[in-house]
Structure 1
Amino acid sequence: MTASYAALRAQLDTLTTEAFRPELAEIDRLSTLEIARTMNAEDATVPAAVAAQLPHIAAAIDAIAQRMARGGRLVYAGAGTAGRIGVLDASECPPTFSTDPAQVVGLIAGGPSAMTLAVEGAEDSAELAAADLAALELTADDSVIGISASGRTPYAIGAVEFARTRGALTVGLSCNAGSALAAAAEHGIEVVVGPELLTGSTRLKAGTAQKLVLNLVSTVTMIRLGKTYGNLMVDLRASNEKLRARSRRIVALATGAPDEEIEAALDATGGEVKQAVLVLLAGVDGPTAAGLLTASRGHLREALARTAATG
């Protein structure tokens, strides 16, 4: 056994996410239904672990939203499963909230090919993370979330450390207490989900926890930025027939207007849901609605308040 291997093994032995569970050592002898029930019961514990970190998550969201309101970007950085979850969450923002694809970015160690194939040594390189972020020309208005189940992945830690040198906001999301990643970041979020059903398979509970946290971060940040009206996705980008139907339904729920008025409002605004809602609720034309929303930084409630104040 080499010294480096021994050191790595010693590190893994200290991680909750890597712990062996002897009570599950014969899980392969169970029936399929029994295995499924066991795994489902494990998954049911994850939301409570996330709930324990909500104050830290909310503080990070407020800080991120402040920077994004100034034009900053949100960048996720991780390796393996953690990186894939970040890329997934980032890729869902443009169709859901009409964000520019460059506004929420997912970086995975090893680049796009690592989404489907493991890239040898990529997660072990802090320098690779620094290079990936340098290519984005990171600024102090940006926010970087390093994601790592273990909390010790060099790529995620390197991303946070480099981001701090550029004055960017930093968040470290891990699933072990006392992690190096959380210590390196301004905002540490440690969702301790415990040992996995399959020893060390952190795509399971740890991956679920990371997905839940990133759902919270992106969704609540977008709410803070005015991307919703109540619980309606008024910044939805209608890129197919299903989404065009959803757009009409959102306008209907927001305004209660009849179908023909909804169609006319969407036609007058080029299909922009938020503008169409403002047209119908404030009784203004399309260009006026667009101007009001620009003056209100995209916040529909603020735009409506402006029309009420001047009406």
Structure 2
Amino acid sequence: MTLKTEQLHALASTLDVATLDAAADALVSNQVDAARCVLACRDVICAGASAMAKTLRNGGTLYYVAAGSSGLMVAADAMELGGTFGIPVAQIEILMAGGVPTTAHMPGDVEDEVDKLPVLLANVSDRDCLIAVTASGSTPYTLRAAELARAGGATVIGIANNSQALLFETSDHAIALDTPSEVLSGSTRMGAGTAQKIALNTLSTLMGVELGHVYQGLMVNLKADNIKLLARARGIVRQVTQVDEATAASALTRSGGDVKIACLLALGAQSPELARAALIRSQGHLGPAIARLHSHETTPK
């Protein structure tokens, strides 16, 4: 059976003889078509995001696993979780075949090397969640990781660009991205990769929503560890509370940089401890905590 990701696109044979603008149109249109395919996976993506949120609430680990260009996609998503949502690094593991590259060379043979995976996944348990991504759905490294995670009781989210992917046999949540074949045949860093990135970004952002780390479109659990993010944190506090710059800065100082607590302090919470108690009662969601504050219910019962 020829994998869809390896099939020849109708425009592939004309790519090198077309004008550059026509070739560009074909390449961009193909990726736009690939992006639309993610919409068909909405329900399973939502279920996967809820599973990821449950893992983090229970103190488990998110394992991101892939090889090649899919590995770059998972690494990009995983490495943003700390800054965007304040997810502790200890709860995120990136297992990319051959390791995350430090140069422009990305070896291809490592996707067949599965010997180290039993050690890397030795501690996997039913508290954990593994997100496995492979365009073909049959990459040995990714398949073996999914098998080990499933055997250890972890929830497996599988993402592949072939509907009959072997990966889905060991996936609790199977995200089948029915992307078109590539205009540059087999170059899954393009359309397939575009769809993978959208699926991964959607999963992790919905996870953040579930955890209460998003409020009115703002990243209220971001980790402010540089000048840009410190300014963003002050801006978020100001936007949520409508206080001035000095008040926002003071609230962030009192909260130790915690944006949610700073918002509650700026709105009148008497102490960081009472603000934290309000957030615990609202399971980390800022909106209900603000409502309780306005109802004078910040004291824990």
- Note whether the superposition's TM-score is higher than 0.5: yes
1:247 maps to 233
| Residue 48 of structure 2 corresponds to residue 91 of structure 1 | no
| Residue 13 of structure 2 corresponds to residue 20 of structure 1 | no
Structure 1 residue 60: Cα displacement: 1.6
1:310 maps to 297
1:195 to 181, 184, 208: 181
CA distance 1:288–1:109, shift in 2 (3 Å) = same
Query: Tell me, what secondary structure is at the counterpart of 1:152?
Result: coil
Residues 109-118 or 29-38, more deviating: 109-118
2:53 to 38, 43, 65: 65
1:272 maps to 258
| Residue 271 of structure 2 corresponds to residue 289 of structure 1 | no
2:168 maps to 182
Cα distance in 1 for partners of 2:102, 2:114 equals: 16
Contact preservation (8 Å) 2:75, 2:100: no
Contact preservation (8 Å) 1:139, 1:166: yes
1:6 maps to none
1:108 maps to 96
Q: After TM superposition, what 4+ stretches of structure 1 lie above 6 angstroms from structure 2?
A: none
Contact preservation (8 Å) 1:87, 1:105: no
Cα distance in 1 for partners of 2:67, 2:100 equals: 11
> Which runs of 5 or more structure 2 residues have no equivalent in the other structure?
none
| Residue 69 of structure 2 corresponds to residue 81 of structure 1 | yes
Report how many aligned residue pairs link the two structures: 297
Q: Percent identity?
A: 35
Q: Quick one: which amino acid aligns to residue 76 of structure 1?
A: Y
CA distance 1:105–1:115, shift in 2 (3 Å) = farther
Cα distance in 1 for partners of 2:248, 2:133 equals: 42
Per-residue CA distance 1:164-186 (angstroms, 9 max, x = gap): 11100011110001110112212
Residues 178-187 or 56-65, more deviating: 56-65
Q: What's the TM-score once normalised by structure 2's chain length?
A: 0.92
| Residue 286 of structure 2 corresponds to residue 300 of structure 1 | yes
Cα distance in 1 for partners of 2:63, 2:103 equals: 16
Structure 1 residue 230: Cα displacement: 2.3
Query: Tell me, what secondary structure is at the counterpart of 1:52?
Result: helix
Contact preservation (8 Å) 1:46, 1:208: yes
1:3 maps to none
Structure 1 residue 31: Cα displacement: 2.1
> Which runs of 5 or more structure 1 residues have no equivalent in the other structure?
1-10
Cα distance in 2 for partners of 1:298, 1:195 equals: 42
Q: Quick one: which amino acid aligns to residue 45 of structure 1?
A: D
Query: Tell me, what secondary structure is at the counterpart of 2:35?
Result: helix
Tell me how large the CA RMSD over aligned residues is.
1.9
Cα distance in 2 for partners of 1:88, 1:25 equals: 32
Contact preservation (8 Å) 1:78, 1:146: yes
Residues 83-92 or 237-246, more deviating: 237-246
| Bigger relative CO (Cα 8 Å, ≥ 6 apart) | 2
